[in-house]
Amino acid sequence: MRKLMILVLALVLLGASTAATAATMSCSLDGVDFTPKYCFGMLPGAHYAKAVFRVDPPLPENFEVRWRKVLKGNEYDVPCNAYYSVCTLSIQAFVPLTVIALVLEQDNHTWFEVSATAFLENGQ
């Protein structure tokens, strides 16, 4: 978290501004179609499933993503590849999972942030 704050501060000091964009994040549970900002899955008997989070195009040509997740009110860094627009995580039934992507455009030092939340139920 501290590294992220230092990075954002450095961008601000360099005169960076948020990019004027209508970017969104979509997510998908267990291979079902991507939906913007929120996805829901009902998988009978499943305690865990795969949630895929995607920063929707268009993306800058030269970008880097800082992935974070919010789980039970706490924020954590996520070990997803900073040069991909997709992040796959495990989600537990009945525990909402929000993923936040800070997208940095390296050519003109702009950035934007998007997020989506996934929720899994298992019928119990």
Pairwise CA distance, residues 76 & 3, whole Å: 12
Nearest in space to 64 (alpha carbons), one of 4, 9, 21: 4
Higher-confidence residue: 95 or 16? Answer: 95
For residue 27, give Cα distances in angstroms to 10, 14, 67, 105.
30, 33, 14, 22
Specify the CATH number for 2-121; select among 3.20.20.150, 3.40.50.720, 3.30.70.260, 2.60.40.10.
Answer: 2.60.40.10
Give residue 21's pLDDT band: very low, low, confident or very high (50, 70, 90). Answer: low
pTM of the model: 0.80
Q: Say which residue the tokens 């079902």 belong to.
A: 32
Give residue 80's pLDDT band: very low, low, confident or very high (50, 70, 90). Answer: very high
Pairwise CA distance, residues 72 & 95, whole Å: 7
Nearest in space to 122 (alpha carbons), one of 92, 90, 78, 83: 92
Enumerate the β-bridge partners of residue 87. 53
pLDDT tens-digit readout, 22-60: 689 999 998 889 999 999 999 999 999 999 999 998 888
Higher-confidence residue: 71 or 38? Answer: 38
- Which sequence spans correspond to the domains of the chain? 2-121
